[in-house]
Copies of this chain bind each other. A is one copy, B any other.
Amino acid sequence: MSHAVSPLAPKTVPEMPPIAGVRFATAEAGIKYKNRTDVLLVALDEGTEVAGVFTRSKCPSAPVEWCREALAGGKARALLVNSGNANAFTGLKGRETVRISAGHAGRTLGVEPGTVFLASTGVIGEPLDPAKFAAVLDDTAGRLADGPWIDAARAIMTTDTFPKVATRTVAIAGVPVTINGIAKGAGMIAPDMATMLSFVFTDAPIAAPALQAMLSKGVEGSFNAITVDSDTSTSDTLILFATGAAETRGAPRIADAADERLADFRAALDGLLLDLAHQVCKDGEGARKFVEVTVTGAVDDASAKRIALSIANSPLVKTAIAGEDANWGRVVMAVGKAGEPADRDRLSIWFGDVRVAVEGARDAGYSEAAASAEMEREDVRVRADIGLGEGRATVWTCDLTKEYVAINGDYRS
């Protein structure tokens, strides 16, 4: 379970400011891990608005079902997260665990259970005992504070090799507001989900429907544009909480996502989501290289994204990148198998800035040395131009190494 920190981990960790209206603490509940925190409890001030995006798995975890229902109210007062057990595929018992835990957290904090959001990550199919939460909740609630955020990020880790945090400060109508985010995830990462777990907090006063519109849009180019292994989790959860505390400092309350005063906030939120998504990708199990795949010239953007994901999910492309092999033939293969409109004889391929193939054949000026030099970088860029239209998309992945196999061959035991 303890692996060396990914070589792709950020070299510096940002200073995370407090967010007015958000207090939290972590605990060692011994759910699966020993001698590390595995529970995060967050208390949110009254008036906190909430939005969420969840896995599209047909077999979602009990907490995901709970959050979907809780989201309907648009209000949040608490978040309770655990690592080590996903409470997924645990049947009626799993639903009971969720109900009991939300009830307990609600009583402890003096809030409605229906405003308590829950998330669990870890092994699937093992019953999660609500007594584990019960044993630590009172003590944890007594230690709530406005930092340090890195501890919150650490408590939700599973096979992650580093905690993932990001922060942005931006003005709404001249009043500075803050956005903080944490994330976890290293495997079972694929699009059509919101990564394993990510929680974003802001003091901006924004109504739930506007938050939801921004979050649903922002996730497309970030968490839904990364893939580690094409496997979609049962538990993926991204929740955005807005306490509205900045209103006391003069920030206007905004109800419409299209409000122009939100332009900077929206850009900052998108940037923060992408930052966290990239960190998840850079902690891809066994990853040694961060890979950006851009597809241009597809018939439309959706087609470009499907082709880009076909490249990014191809085991043969990913192993070639691990081996620093400029094997562009495998990129051709991945374009061809995507099932999207493509014309072999209009296809061009680049590694970094080196064009290796053009119009259906190897580039006349092809240099193995130049192509190989691109593959030796830690950040590898692959581009395919389909030559049919204006569709464009970028997705991110990591290489596929023997360590991925080693990590996943003995995860449960």
Contacts and interface: CB of A to CB of B under 8 A. Distances in A.
A333 B234 contact: yes
Contact of A409 (B56, B89, B187, B323): B323
A80 interface: no
B336 A57 contact: yes
Contact of A91 (B188, B340, B359): B359
B124 A92 contact: no
A2 to B, nearest CB: 17
Nearest to A356: B125
A402 B406 contact: yes
Of A335, A347, A360, most buried by chain B (CB within 10 Å of CB) is A360
B231 A314 contact: yes
A98 interface: no
Interface in A40-93: 55-60, 86, 88-93
A35 interface: no
> A-side binding surface: helix, strand, loop or mixed?
loop
A315 interface: yes
B315 A360 contact: no
A71 B237 CA distance: 52
A341 interface: yes
Contacts of A335: 58-59
Interface in A331-345: 332-345
A19 B357 CA distance: 43
